[in-house]
Amino acid sequence: MEKRTFKNIGKAISLLGFGLMRLPLKGESPGDIDYGPAEAMVDRAIEAGVNYFDTAWIYHAGQSEVFAGAALNRHPREKFNLATKLWVRALESADQAEREFGQQLEKCKVNSFDFYLLHNLGEDAWDIARKLRLYELFNKKKEQGLIGNLGFSFHGSPDHLERVAKEYDWDFAQIQVNYLDWDAINAARQYRILTERNIPVIVMEPVRGGALAKLPTKAAEILTDADPTASHSSWAVRYAASLPGVMTVLSGMSNMEQVEDNVKTMTGFRPLSDGERETLERAATAYRSSGFIPCTSCRYCTPCPSGVDIPGVFASYNRYRSELAGANPIAKMIFQMTYSSLVPSEQAHNCTSCEQCKTLCPQSIDIPRGMKEVADFAAE
Ligand code: SF4
Ligand code: SF4
């Protein structure tokens, strides 16, 4: 497994990081993690040399940290670096932040976190973080040895990132980078803002919530023609991992097949050649022309008070757009099948345009508008 070192981090970190946010489930509830297969995936990753594991207060309805504590502590402490995040948006006081930090240590069954992040420092969360002096609070914990490295994750605009990055002496930062978003959400500028300041970058969503593993037909053909033996997600993972200044690329793995594919990609890692980069640019152009809604299924927008399954609705519509881009004559029928797998109370027509979800989407998707688009299409 390829490992990278950064002067300020002081230890070698595996280029593949395991994101503990899309673990296999036993039932429908996001908190109902299926420990057997999920622990087997963690074991295999550690065996292959993965030493960075990323969880958060909110993942799997609070159960991801509990799983991390159970699964990782079956291994020697030096085998894993544990990163978790504080959900800043919901904080009302510094005392609450202190309390939650203590609970996180307990849930994860560790005495300290190797990496600790202020989660999603968009403009709202940033105001809260500054008001509650969270950097100062957690920097003190770093001095006390309770945190190894202090950073933040981010989904906002480059201008706002510039403000956040220059305000404090961050050890690292986590941003969304993939070949589709490099231009689409200005990931290129975000990456430069961090690397120009020598802030090590942790990449999230390299496969865009799985969307770059299930490409629209035309985009898929471009990659398969270029290399029939490589999975489409391995192209996306290599794109992110080829960037200098990237410490680790997080993959939110859901099954053993994904673990094996990522391990294969990151063992004896081969950076992209210029020709492969050009191939990916062509695939990205084909993807964009499919008219997809850029949802990553992160579920930050849920629950909807009207019961709409927002990521489920967008996933079925994106499947349709992708089939349409591939000139599949039964694209509409495929949409009907996937859309009807949502129960009627979860479908787009239940959206009341209350806008509660709108500011919660890190991809800046106009969700009520998207719901109307899908509801109108489904009614056709
Ligand atoms: S705008 Fe629509 S989808 Fe969003 S929370 Fe309101 S009802 Fe739900
Ligand atoms: S609509 Fe936005 S917030 Fe909701 S699941 Fe998709 S990407 Fe996440």
Q: Are residues 225 and 320 in the same domain?
A: no
For residue 185, the model assigns a pLDDT of 63
pLDDT reading at 314 higher than 60: yes
What is the rounded distance in angstroms from the CA atom of residue 275 to the CA atom of residue 238?
Answer: 13
Ligand 2 center to 348 CA (angstroms): 14
**Atom 7 of ligand 1: nearest residue by CA position:** 351
Q: Which residues pair with 152 in a beta bridge?
A: 118, 173
Q: Is 351 in the pocket of ligand 1 (CB under 6 A)?
A: yes
Q: Which ligand is closest in space to the CA of residue 210?
A: 2
Tell me the best of 293, 347, 350, 354 to mutate to test the pocket of ligand 1, counting ligand atoms within 8 Å of each CB and taking the most: 354
Q: Which two tokens stand for residue 42?
A: 């963690």
Q: Does residue 70 lie within any of the structural domains? A: yes
Q: Is 355 in the pocket of ligand 1 (CB under 6 A)?
A: yes
Q: Are residues 9 and 121 in the same domain?
A: yes
Q: Which residues pair with 33 in a beta bridge?
A: 25
Question: How many distinct structural domains can be found in the chain?
Answer: 2
Q: Does residue 95 lie within any of the structural domains? A: yes
Ligand 1 center to 304 CA (angstroms): 6
**Atom 8 of ligand 1: nearest residue by CA position:** 304
**Atom 2 of ligand 1: nearest residue by CA position:** 351
Q: Which ligand is closest in space to the CA of residue 297?
A: 2
- pLDDT band per the 50, 70, 90 thresholds, residue 359: confident
In the Cβ-directed half-sphere of 157, how many Cα atoms lie within 13 Å?
5
Q: Are residues 220 and 355 in the same domain?
A: no
How many helices, marked H, and strands, marked E, lie in the chain? Answer: 15, 10
CB 206 within 8 A of CB 178: yes
**Which ligand 2 atom sits closest to the C-alpha of 367?**
1
Q: Does residue 304 lie within any of the structural domains? A: no
**Atom 4 of ligand 2: nearest residue by CA position:** 301
Q: Are residues 176 and 217 in the same domain?
A: yes
Q: Which of 247, 272, 287 is the last residue of a domain?
A: 287
Q: Does residue 300 lie within any of the structural domains? A: no
Q: What is the pLDDT of residues 97-155, one digit of tens each?
A: 999 999 999 999 999 999 999 999 988 899 999 999 999 999 999 999 999 999 999 98
Q: What is the pLDDT of residues 216-264, one digit of tens each?
A: 788 889 999 999 999 999 999 999 999 999 999 999 999 999 999 999 9
pLDDT reading at 294 higher than 90: no
**Which ligand 1 atom sits closest to the C-alpha of 306?**
7
Q: Are residues 120 and 160 in the same domain?
A: yes
pLDDT higher at 156 or 374: 374
Q: Are residues 371 and 277 in the same domain?
A: no
- pLDDT band per the 50, 70, 90 thresholds, residue 377: confident
Ligand 1 center to 97 CA (angstroms): 29
Tell me which residues have their CB closer than 6 angstroms to ligand 2. 295-301, 310-311, 314, 360-361, 363, 365, 367
Ligand 1 center to 353 CA (angstroms): 5
Q: Are residues 182 and 126 in the same domain?
A: yes
Q: Does residue 297 lie within any of the structural domains? A: no
Task: Please provide the average confidence, as pLDDT, over all residues in the chain.
Answer: 91
- Picking from 268, 342, 277, the residue whose alpha carbon sits closest to that of residue 311 is 342
For residue 180, the model assigns a pLDDT of 84
Q: Is 357 in the pocket of ligand 1 (CB under 6 A)?
A: yes
Q: Are residues 229 and 356 in the same domain?
A: no
**Which ligand 1 atom sits closest to the C-alpha of 368?**
1
In the Cβ-directed half-sphere of 67, how many Cα atoms lie within 13 Å?
34
Q: Does residue 354 lie within any of the structural domains? A: yes
Ligand 2 center to 335 CA (angstroms): 19
Q: How many CB atoms lie within 10 A of CB 9?
A: 18
Q: Are residues 266 and 209 in the same domain?
A: yes
Q: Which ligand is closest in space to the CA of residue 292?
A: 2
DSSP three-state, residue 203:
strand
Q: What is the pTM of this model?
A: 0.82
Ligand 2 center to 91 CA (angstroms): 21
Q: Are residues 198 and 342 in the same domain?
A: no
Q: Which ligand is closest in space to the CA of residue 295?
A: 2
For residue 158, the model assigns a pLDDT of 86
Q: Does residue 317 lie within any of the structural domains? A: yes
Q: Which amino acid is at 175?
A: I
Range of the domain at 371: 310-379
Which residues have C-beta within 8 Å of that of residue 153, sequence separation ≥ 6? 85, 117, 118, 119, 120, 121, 173, 174, 175, 202, 204
Q: Does residue 8 lie within any of the structural domains? A: yes
User: Can you tell me the mean pLDDT for 196-218?
Assistant: 88
Which residues have C-beta within 8 Å of that of residue 186, sequence separation ≥ 6? 157, 158
Q: Which ligand is closest in space to the CA of residue 372?
A: 1
